[in-house]
Amino acid sequence: MSRLALRGDLLDLDADPGLDDASGPGARFRPDHWLLIEDGRIVAVQPQAPGEDWPREDHRGRLILPGFIDTHVHSGQIDVIGAYGTALLDWLEKHTFPAERRMADADHAQRISALFLDALLATGTTSASVFPTVHATSVNALFEQAQARGMRLIAGKVLMDRHAPDFLRDDVVQAELDSRALIERWHGNGRLAYAVTPRFAPTSSDAQLAMAGRLLASTPGLYMQTHVAENQDEVRWVAELFPQARSYLDVYAQHGLLTERAIFAHGIWLDDADRAALRASGAQLSHCPSSNLFLGSGLFDWAAAQAAGIPVSLGCDVGGGTSLSMLRTMADAYKVQAMAGRRLTAWKTLYAATLGAARALRLDHEIGSLAVGTLADVAVWDWAVGPVAARRHEVARDVHDRLFAWMTLGDERNLVATFVAGQRRYGSTALRTP
C-alpha cells in the first residue's frame, strides 16, 4: 500500500459558486489541514496529523488545490505559440497547418507530446481534453505519453477532409477506419477516453460530419470536441457552406454531434436559440480567453451562458492561446468579463478550471475536487512569489482577496509540486517546507 500525507491550506469547491458572489458559496477552505492519500486516492481530509506510519510532506502556509482541468488545447501547436499578426483563418493557413504537418512523424510526435504534457504538469494541469492532429501517429503518441504519466486525458484524431492543405486532409473512409482503430485501442484504457474530433465545420464535408455522428453513437462514453462560433469571418463562412443550417451550432446538431459529452470551444458568436439548444443537450462550452484576446476573436458572454444554464469550463487553447497555464487563463477570463462591465469571482474561475469542468465531463467522481474517494490529482502552490506578490498577500483582506491576488499575480513559478493519482509528476522529491 502506498501512502502520502500532505499538509497545507486545502481549497476546493463542492458547488457552482455563481459568477459574482465573492462570499464564496460552494467554496471549501480548510487552512492547515492534512490531505491523506492511499493508493492514489484521497482517503481523508483532517485537521490533525496522521499516525507516524504516514510518509508526509509539510507544506504549511501553501495552497493545495485539485489539479486543473484544461478542456481545450492543441498538442500539435506548441511550435506556433505567439505567432505574430493574424486572425483565426489566416493564422490557421499561415502558421498552424504547417506546424501540424510535422506531427505525421512518429519521433517528432512523441517528443512534442512528452514536452506538451510535462509542460501542462509544470503549470498544475493534470487533466485535459486535447486536439492532437489529423495523423493517427499524433494520437497514439499523446495517449502513450499521457498513460506513462497516469493522466486523465481525452483526445481523438482530428477530422478534416476539405479546406485544408493536402498534407492535412483525410477522407471519410480512411478517417473512419483510423478512428475506429484508435477508439478500440484507447477509449477506456486506464484514464484515457476518446473524443470524436471534427476540427470545425468548415474543414469537414457533410459526409464526414455524418460519419462523426455515427462514430459518436457507436460506442458508449465517447466525447465529442470541436470549435464553434469563434470568429465573425468564420461564422459567415459557415453560413455560406451550410445554408440549410439555422446557425453554426446547428450544423453540429444536425449531424448528431450536440450531446451531453460534447465540448464546444469558444462559443463567442452564439444566439439565444443556440444557448437553449446547448442547455437542452447538456454540452459544455470551453471558454478560451487567452486565445480570444490574442487572435482578436471577441469577448465571450459568460453571463448569458450562465443564465442559460450552460456549463462553462476553461481552455488555454495553445497555440491560439499564449500560455499553457490555467492560472493565466483564469486571469484572462476575469479581464474579458471586465471588458463587458462584469466582475467574475476567483471562486467561479477556480470552479470552471476544476469541479465545473469535471462535472461537465461527467468525471467528478474521479477529478476536480479534494473529495474523499476521488483520485489524488493535486497541486501545491506558493501563495506568493517575489516581494510585490508577498506584500499583496500580506495585506489581503480575506480568502477571496488572497485567492484573487494569487490568480492575478501568480504563474508557474508559484507551483511547488504536482501529483497525479498520488504520484509526484512535477517538483522536487525532497521534502519542501516553506
Q: Which stretch binds Zn ion (CB under 5 A): 62-70, 112-120, 314-322, 354-362?
A: 314-322
Closest separation in Å from C-beta 376 to ligand GUN: 32
Are 132 and 179 spatial neighbours (Cβ–Cβ below 8 Å)?
no
Residue 234 touches Zn ion, criterion: CB under 5 A: no
Contacts of residue 24, Cβ cutoff 8 Å, sequence gap at least 6: 17, 345, 347, 399, 400
Closest separation in Å from C-beta 288 to ligand GUN: 7
- The rounded radius of gyration (Å) of the Cα atoms in the chain is 21
What does 305 bind: Zn ion, ligand GUN, none (CB cut-off 5 to 8 Å by kind)? Answer: none
Q: Which residue has the cell 469535471?
A: 358
Closest separation in Å from C-beta 95 to ligand GUN: 10
- Residue 288's φ and ψ, nearest 5 degrees, are -125, 75
Q: What's the sign of the alpha-carbon dihedral 197, 201, 205, 206? A: positive
What does 95 bind: ligand GUN, Zn ion, none (CB cut-off 5 to 8 Å by kind)? Answer: none
Q: Which stretch binds Zn ion (CB under 5 A): 148-156, 195-203, 255-263, 309-317?
A: 309-317
Nearer to Zn ion, 317 or 364 (CB): 317
Q: Which residue has the cell 453540429?
A: 252
Closest separation in Å from C-beta 364 to Zn ion: 24
118/131 Cα distance (integer angstroms): 16
What does 318 bind: Zn ion, ligand GUN, none (CB cut-off 5 to 8 Å by kind)? Answer: none
154/223 Cα distance (integer angstroms): 8
Q: How many CA atoms lie within 13 A of 64 on its CB side?
A: 26
Nearer to ligand GUN, 92 or 222 (CB): 92
Segment 135 to 194, residues that bind Zn ion, using CB under 5 A: none
349/404 Cα distance (integer angstroms): 10
> What is the CA 279 to chain-centroid distance, rounded?
20
Nearer to ligand GUN, 96 or 129 (CB): 96
Closest separation in Å from C-beta 128 to ligand GUN: 15
Contact positions toward ligand GUN, by CB under 6 A?
74, 88, 92, 96, 199-200, 227, 230, 291, 317, 320
Task: Give whole-number Cα distances, 237 to 16, 123, 211, in Å.
Answer: 36, 36, 22
Closest separation in Å from C-beta 81 to ligand GUN: 12
Closest separation in Å from C-beta 410 to ligand GUN: 25
Nearer to Zn ion, 145 or 291 (CB): 291
Are 133 and 197 spatial neighbours (Cβ–Cβ below 8 Å)?
no
- Residue 113's φ and ψ, nearest 5 degrees, are -65, -40
Nearer to ligand GUN, 248 or 404 (CB): 248
12/351 Cα distance (integer angstroms): 8
Nearer to Zn ion, 317 or 332 (CB): 317
Select the residue interacting with Zn ion from 9, 16, 70, 317 (CB under 5 A): 317
What does 200 bind: Zn ion, ligand GUN, none (CB cut-off 5 to 8 Å by kind)? Answer: ligand GUN
Q: Which stretch binds Zn ion (CB under 5 A): 28-36, 83-91, 155-163, 317-325?
A: 317-325
CA angle in degrees (0–180, nearest 5) for 128-267-187? 30
Closest separation in Å from C-beta 383 to Zn ion: 32
385/219 Cα distance (integer angstroms): 47
Nearer to Zn ion, 301 or 317 (CB): 317
Nearer to ligand GUN, 128 or 358 (CB): 128
- Please name every residue paired with 38 in a beta bridge, in sequence order, or none if there are none: 3, 41
* Contacting residues toward Zn ion, per CB under 5 A: 317
